[in-house]
Structure 1
Amino acid sequence: MFTKSVLDCCGGYSNLDYSKVARWEHRTRGLTRLFGGPYVACYSLAILILLLNVYRSHSITVAMKGQPKWALMDRPEVFYTGVALIGGGILFVVSSFLALGFTGTFLGDYFGILMEKKVTGFPFNMIENPMYWGSTANYLGLALMKASPVGVVLAGVVAISYRVAITYEGPFTNEIYRQRAQRCKHK
């Protein structure tokens, strides 16, 4: 029970679940039919993802508040390292969103909403999956600022869940674009 709660609050199950939903959508177009179009369906899934992210952030904050600070971490240099991580994390998350747009950020390619070409500018020219790693940096930064060992562990769980999601999402997304390139060649 505890493990499921920790994974739920940190995106472990919700991350994998919405990837499963998006793959199902790609195969069946079930959400597109239900919502009357790919954009409405994509935006609806995006709202669910955003709500799950709010829940995860709230849960992590509550967990950190409920645990004592660790004196070893309760130092100015650790605090400012946390501030720097949050600054970098916000930069990666916001710049990723601006580069990808709403549907590019929220699995639009699974709904058939494809980008013209792969985004290669900042921040994608610095790091792969900058939104995931920026988000992880935000959680780790907050944990350091709060001198919370529980927060560090939970940021680690977030990082692991994102790593697993990347393992599945990356190749699947590449295959979607490969199939489109094949269709375009045959036209």
Structure 2
Amino acid sequence: MNSSVEKCYKFHESAIDLLSSIDFCDTTFKVSLFFVIFNPIFWNIVSRLEYYTHFLTKLTNNPKTGCYILAVTIFTLGIVRNYYFEQALYKQVVSQVLENEFTKSLGVILIVLGQILVITSMYQLGIIGTYCGDYFGILMKERVRAFPFNVCENPMYRGSTLSFLGFSLLQGKGAGLLITFFVHMVYEIALKFEEPFTMKIYRNPKID
């Protein structure tokens, strides 16, 4: 009983330390959260608008060119998001709970694993497959089943989340863990919209 109480007390203490280490009023922290939430909303809205109206295809007279424009935009927004995430963490104080060699080593491992998932999934899908090409009517011939898709679903999202988590642990910042939680949640919500819609596209491809 005493052991259980002690563990509960230590967990409570650790949670308080993590929360107290976060500066919620920092501007870069707020901007980082904004881009974490905004980016998936943006690419889902724009890609669906393209699917229903072909506005990028009409603008460029070529679906591939339109897809490349969207890809550059999404990639750029990702760089901006990552920049503010790093800046936000640099301005936050280190949490005593996360300030140890094991946490830092785990952070490095998670970053490496995350980047492997992201890079290999992009390699398997290509630029068009990665950046909503199916919304432009550019469909893949068959479902990709090679690594990393044979070890996990949605490796791009999983890898991105692991990278955020790893960097947060490496820096020892509680704010990073909170931002990572939002990264995970917005990806999960995005998938609720993306996966059924993608299945619909491949079941009923539009022929114009």
TM-score (norm 1): 0.92
> 1:124-182 CA distances to partner (integer Å, 9 max, x unpaired)?
111110001101100100000000100111111111111111111111011100113x9
Where does residue 157 of structure 1 map in the other structure? 182
Where does residue 137 of structure 2 map in the other structure? 112
Letter in 2 for 1:117: E
Q: Distance in 1 between matches of 2:34 and 2:172?
A: 23
Letter in 1 for 2:116: L
Letter in 2 for 1:32: T
For 1:34, which of 52, 59, 77 is the aligned residue? 59
For 1:134, which of 126, 140, 159 is the aligned residue? 159
Q: Distance in 2 between matches of 1:63 and 1:9?
A: 12
Are residue 167 (structure 1) and residue 189 (structure 2) matched?
no
Count of aligned positions = 181
Where does residue 23 of structure 1 map in the other structure? 48
Where does residue 8 of structure 1 map in the other structure? 34
Q: Distance in 2 between matches of 1:177 and 1:123?
A: 21
**For structure 2, which runs of at least 5 residues remain unmatched after alignment?**
1-24
Where does residue 8 of structure 2 map in the other structure? none
Q: Distance in 2 between matches of 1:146 and 1:152?
A: 10
Where does residue 100 of structure 1 map in the other structure? 125
For 1:65, which of 90, 93, 96 is the aligned residue? 90
Where does residue 179 of structure 1 map in the other structure? 204
Letter in 2 for 1:163: E
Q: Distance in 1 between matches of 2:58 and 2:35?
A: 30
Where does residue 20 of structure 2 map in the other structure? none
Where does residue 80 of structure 1 map in the other structure? 105
Q: Which has the larger radius of gyration?
A: 2
Cα gap change, 1:4/1:177 in structure 2, threshold over 3 Å: closer, same or farther? farther
Deviation, 1:58, is 0.6
Which stretches of structure 1, 4 residues or more, deviate above 3 A after TM superposition?
A: 1-7
Deviation, 1:9, is 2.5
Q: Percent identity?
A: 36
Letter in 1 for 2:121: S
Q: Distance in 2 between matches of 1:100 and 1:75?
A: 38
Letter in 2 for 1:50: F
Q: Distance in 2 between matches of 1:32 and 1:149?
A: 43
Equivalent residue of 1:120, what SS? Answer: coil
CA RMSD of superposed structures (Å): 1.8
Deviation, 1:7, is 3.5
Deviation, 1:43, is 0.4
Q: Distance in 2 between matches of 1:136 and 1:171?
A: 22
